[in-house]
Chain A
Amino acid sequence: MSEPNVKQSARPGSAVSGKDSGKGSDGNKPRKSYSSFGQAWLRLRVSPLFWISVVIIAFLLVMAIFPSLFTQHTPDRCDLGDSRAPAGDKYLLGADLQGCDIMANIAYGARASLTVGVVSSLGATAVGVLIGIVAAYFGGWVDAVLSRISDVFFAIPLILGAIVAMQVTEHRNVWTLSAILIFFGWTNTARIARSATLEVRTKEYIAAARLLHVHNGRILLTHIIPNIIAPIIVVATIGIGGLIAAEASLSYLSIGLPPNIPSWGKAIADGQKVLRVNPGIMLWPALALTLTVLAFISLGEAIRNAFGSRKDSR
């Protein structure tokens, strides 16, 4: 992969005579400096993978916010008489078993999917980063306790924990589902944040800041978080895709979102019943789901490539 040459760093031993200070190695030409985030953006800007994912995600966002732009039907107004109607003028992609517009299911389902995905990924990231940083920065018994707690949550696979929790949840909706996914889903981020903080914490610029009596909160905000956030942004982005898939899986198992909220997972479960005769009923929501998850995963991949980090994390 060819990367644009965005910086020309002078390495030690740059000058034969005179001082090593003074102007940069490229003479008097003024040049722009970029932070690691600025450099990543320069690389992202020319990454096709990034733009493809962004276009898909933007399209999905529009769909989630204005579903009525995509269909004149709504998923709650169904006509049993149109059950399994073929694609055509009335229904763009046909109608499902209950005679609901498939396009309406997809368009309105985007809202639930994206909300759960984004909210739970952001939430899990926030919780994970907080716990990971606190554990690593303060160390000692704080770290020991938080790490053991994290071991316990790690022992409960996400889907399994969510199944138990959702089963006893009275009000199943987008928010309770997101809360449960956050509750069982933060450990991965916490581990990454912890090990990244442990690495940054020993850096001498942290010691230098402490010797200037910069207080802990400021050190955390200005020195630690900016230096560990890159891999976490990647994980959080990919996590949106993963959690959208988790929501769909749970809804498919009939333990995610309730029947009155349109959801792709639910639509796929319904379509399963007539897979042999009407594959289209399942095909379209499955396609929407796959495309969405893929868009977030490839966005994460593009960001990872832009930051040039080699650490693989899912």
Chain B
Amino acid sequence: MARYILSRLAQAVVVVFVATLLLYALAYAMPGDPVAALAGENQTLDAATRAAIAAKYNLDKPFFVQYALYLGRVFHGDLGTTFAGRPVTEVIATAFPVTARLAIIAIVIETVIGVLVGLVAGRHKGSGFDSVVMTITMILLGVPSFVLAFAVQYFFGVKLRWMKPTVSEFATWGELVVPALVLAVGSIAFLIRFTRSGVVDALNSDHVKAARARGIHEWRIGLAHVLRNVLIPIVTVIGTEFGGLLGGAIITESVFNIPGFGQQVYQHIIRGETAPTVSLVSVLVIIFVTVNLLVDLLYAVLNPKVRYGAHE
């Protein structure tokens, strides 16, 4: 177990290192003019400004030196500044809690709805409820998240006035429920289907048959022998889906005007500021890898085969 955790941790560190290196390389070593890219698209630059920018981002040095210097700064908590002169760390500090709230609500919603509906649909495979669920989830998988976001905003915010079309600058838990639901829709649909097929498989398994033959009650089989087993792969899926959640947050936050991380990324994209975008995206990658590391640990806790070292 300890070995498993340490090896996962080591892998995660390397993955983060290489992934951020990749993003950095993309941004700074691409053919083209990095200085212009850094300054933003619409700036016209004189030679002196160019040299200043080049020196500031170490663009006059070899690539790996640049990256090493960049890493050094990152470890000192310096992620650079936005073009407006605001430190990126400060941007992160204010935006992070908002997005964390959004993501937590989304994960809770997708897990609860996904697992419950999937469990019932799988238990009653082939029923009317199951067909309805399968059709609805297919449609939900097919509706792009920002189209859905606009639809929700327009019908519930503008037409019906059930909610405010945009979120206040405080982005409270309550205000974030609807955007989080929109954000989670794809994952909900996927989790329902995933849970459903896992439940169908588990119900047909030999160990469930053996438990039934021992006279174990059906509700107990559902919880202890079906749900408990299906939970193991579900945890992994929730981790994988989290990546889509982070990408989707950029769109959801910009549609509902949520002052979160995604909104910040969006603002920097619009202004064409590469350096802060790379920093922010790198932070998101680190969060994603960390979440998946936690998922791996949870996986190990749930799965005795890993806990008792037999995962070969």
Question: What is the chain A residue whose CB lies nearest that of B36?
Answer: A170
Let me know if A152 is at the binding interface, CB within 8 A. yes
The answer, yes or no, to whether A38 is at the interface (CB within 8 Å) is: no
Q: Classify the secondary structure of A's interface with B.
A: helix
Chain B residues with CB under 8 A of A153 = 19
User: Which B residues are in CB contact (< 8 Å) with A165?
Assistant: 26
Across-interface contacts of B23 in A (CB, < 8 A): 156, 161, 164
Q: Does B108 contact A (CB under 8 A)?
A: no
User: Is A74 on the interface with B (CB-CB < 8 A)?
Assistant: no
Q: Do B251 and A290 touch (CB < 8 A)?
A: no
Q: Across the interface, name the chain A residue whose C-beta is closest to B37.
A: A168
Q: Mark B270-282, 1 if CB is under 8 A from A, else 0.
A: 1010100110010
Q: Assess whether A220 is interfacial by the CB under 8 Å rule.
A: no
Cβ of A276 within 8 Å of any chain B Cβ, yes or no, is yes
Are the C-beta atoms of A241 and B30 separated by less than 8 Å? no
Cα distance A168–B151 in the bound complex, in angstroms: 32
Q: How far is the CB of A84 from chain B (nearest CB, A)?
A: 17
Which among A152, A254, A272, A293 is the interface contact of B15 at CB below 8 angstroms? A152
Asked whether B288 lies within 8 Å of A155 as measured between CB atoms, the reply is yes
The answer to whether A168 touches B281, judged by C-beta atoms less than 8 angstroms apart, is: no
A294 in contact with B143 (CB, 8 Å): yes
- CB-CB under 8 A from A298, the residues of chain B are 138, 142
Expressed in whole angstroms, the minimum distance between the Cβ of A267 and any Cβ of chain B is 12
168-221 of chain A: CB within 8 A of chain B? 168-170
B32, B197, B248, B281: the one within 8 Å of A310 (CB):
B197
B197, A160: Cβ atoms closer than 8 Å? no
User: Could you tell me the distance between the alpha carbons of A298 and B134 in the complex, rounded to whole angstroms?
Assistant: 11
- B87 CB within 8 Å of chain A: no
**Residues of B participating in the A interface, judged by any CB pair closer than 8 Å:** 11, 14-16, 18-19, 22-23, 26-27, 30-34, 37, 138-139, 141-147, 150-151, 153-154, 158, 190, 193-194, 197, 200-201, 243-244, 246-248, 250-251, 254-255, 265-266, 269-270, 272, 274, 277-278, 281, 284-285, 288-289, 292
Say whether A248 faces chain B, with CB atoms less than 8 Å apart: yes
B100 to chain A, nearest CB (A): 17
What is the 8 Å Cβ interface bit string for chain A, positions 241-279, against chain B (1 contact, 0 not)?
100010011001111000000000000100010011001
> Across the two chains, which residue of chain A brings its CB closest to B198?
A312
Q: Is A303 an interface residue (CB 8 A)?
A: no
Instruction: Determine whether A159 belongs to the interface, using a CB cutoff of 8 Å to chain B.
Output: yes
Q: Do residues B26 and A152 form an inter-chain contact, with CB atoms below 8 A?
A: no
CB-CB < 8 A to B27: which residues of A? 164, 167-168
**Bound complex: CA A153 to CA B30 (Å):** 18
Q: What would 6 more interface pairs be, CB under 8 Å, given A167-B277, A249-B145, A286-B150? A: A148-B15, A155-B288, A156-B22, A167-B37, A168-B27, A294-B138
- Whether B285 and A156, one on each chain, are in contact in the complex, defined by CB atoms closer than 8 angstroms, is yes
A residues 285-314 touching B (CB-CB < 8 Å): 286, 289-290, 293-294, 296-298, 301, 310-312, 314
- Alpha-carbon distance A293/B197, docked complex (angstroms): 23
Contact (Cβ within 8 A) A164 B141:
no
Set of chain A residues within 8 Å of B244, measured between Cβ atoms: 157-158
Given contacts A155-B15, A164-B278, is CB(A249)–CB(B144) below 8 Å? yes
A79 at the interface (CB under 8 A from B): no
Q: Which of A115-168 contact B (CB under 8 A)?
A: 148, 151-161, 163-165, 167-168
In this complex, what residue of B is CB-closest to A275? Answer: B154
Among the listed A155, A170, A296, which residue makes an inter-chain contact with B16, where contact means beta carbons less than 8 Å apart?
A: A155
State whether A253 touches B250 (Cβ < 8 A): yes
Report B263 CB to chain A, min CB distance, Å.
Answer: 11
Minimum C-beta distance from B31 to chain A (A)? 8
Known: A290-B147, A297-B141. A159 touches B247 (CB 8 A): yes
B19 in contact with A168 (CB, 8 Å): no
Which 5 A/B pairs are nearest by Cβ-Cβ distance?
Answer: A159-B247, A294-B142, A157-B243, A245-B144, A297-B142
A282 at the interface (CB under 8 A from B): yes
Flag if A168 contacts B269 (CB, 8 Å): no
A residues near B147, Cβ cutoff 8 Å: 268, 286, 289-290
Contacting pair B269 A253 (CB below 8 A): yes
Cα(A312)–Cα(B196), bound, Å: 10
**A254 and B146 contacting across the interface, CB-CB below 8 Å:** no
A152 cross-chain contacts in B, Cβ below 8 A: 15, 18-19, 22
Tell me, in angstroms, the Cα distance from A288 to B266 when the chains sit together: 24
- Chain A residues with Cβ below 8 Å from B142 are 241, 290, 293-294, 296-298
| Least CB separation from B33: chain A residue | A170
Residues of A within 8 A of B201 (CB): 310
Q: Which among B147, B201, B272 has the highest number of chain A CB atoms within 10 Å?
A: B147
User: With A152-B19, A253-B251, A298-B138 in contact, do A290 and B284 touch (Cβ < 8 Å)?
Assistant: no
18 example contacts (A-B, Cβ-Cβ < 8 A) are as follows A151-B15, A157-B244, A158-B244, A158-B247, A160-B265, A168-B27, A168-B274, A249-B146, A253-B254, A253-B269, A254-B270, A275-B154, A290-B143, A293-B144, A296-B142, A297-B141, A301-B138, A310-B201
| B138 and chain A: residue at smallest CB distance | A301
Interface centre among B22, B31, B194, B246, by most chain A C-beta atoms within 10 angstroms, is B22
**Which residues of A have CB within 8 Å of B289?**
155
CB pair A252 B146 closer than 8 Å: yes
List of A residues within 8 angstroms of B243 by Cβ: 154, 157-158
B247 proximity list for chain A (CB < 8 A) = 157-160, 249
Chain B's nearest CB lies how many Å from the CB of A82? 24
B191 to A: closest C-beta gap in Å: 10
**Residues of chain B lying within 8 A (CB to CB) of residue A151:** 11, 15
A168 to B30, CA, bound (A): 7
Task: Give min CB distance, B293 to chain A, whole Å.
Answer: 11
Whose C-beta in chain A lies nearest to the C-beta of B237?
A: A312
